[in-house]
Amino acid sequence: MTLHPGLEVVSGLIGTWRGDGHGEYPTIESFDYVEEVTFTDVGKPFLHYAQMTWSPSGAPMHTETGYLRIINGTGVEFVLAQPTGQTELSEGPLESKTDGFTCELRSQVHNSGSAKHVEATLRHIELAGGVLTTSFAMAAAGVPMTHHLASQMHSIS
């Protein structure tokens, strides 16, 4: 399967990544977690994305899924579904680097009728030196945009 040329700039993402993360938010106790993400090429101009996190003891925590779209080599559209009842449409510019890229994505979040209300999120994704670094801030539960999650992952397949 030939990679769509529009995805060359993020080709280093394809595969499965695993590493440790740390979460914090004003309304909860801080916590550590293990994160695994997989970006899959399906022969189209986007990558399929699947993510899972676990507590350090192995209990499942969060999961999310969606698609990463690259627009003209310079823009990212991260289209996400959350099992907690939110859709998240995160967009921002892509900055290519010699061994990867960085991007900061601002979201439109929409909440289902029964969901705890999330106002907005801010994601930073960086691939550099063989390390995938993510951070995630959100405005939710009456708290303005505040840092929530950070992880560093290495390729495992």
Binding footprint of a second copy on the chain (CB under 8 A): 42-44, 46, 48, 60, 63, 65-67, 69, 71, 75, 77, 79-83, 85-89, 91, 108, 110-115
* Exposed / middle / buried, residue 113 (Cβ in 10 Å: 0-12, 13-18, 19+): exposed
For residue 91, list its beta bridge partners. Answer: 77, 106
For residue 41, list its beta bridge partners. Answer: 47
Q: How far is the CB of 92 from a second copy (least distance, A)?
A: 10
**Closer Cβ to a second copy, 106 or 154, answer by number:** 106
**Closer Cβ to a second copy, 91 or 95, answer by number:** 91
Integer Cα distance of 151 and 62 in angstroms: 13
Integer Cα distance of 151 and 19 in angstroms: 7
Q: How far is the CB of 27 from a second copy (least distance, A)?
A: 21
**Closer Cβ to a second copy, 15 or 75, answer by number:** 75
Q: How far is the CB of 68 from a second copy (least distance, A)?
A: 9
Whether the Cβ atoms of residue 94 and residue 77 lie closer than 8 Å to each other: no
Q: How far is the CB of 78 from a second copy (least distance, A)?
A: 9
Taking alpha carbons only, the member of 103, 97, 92 closest to residue 126 is 103
**Closer Cβ to a second copy, 26 or 73, answer by number:** 73
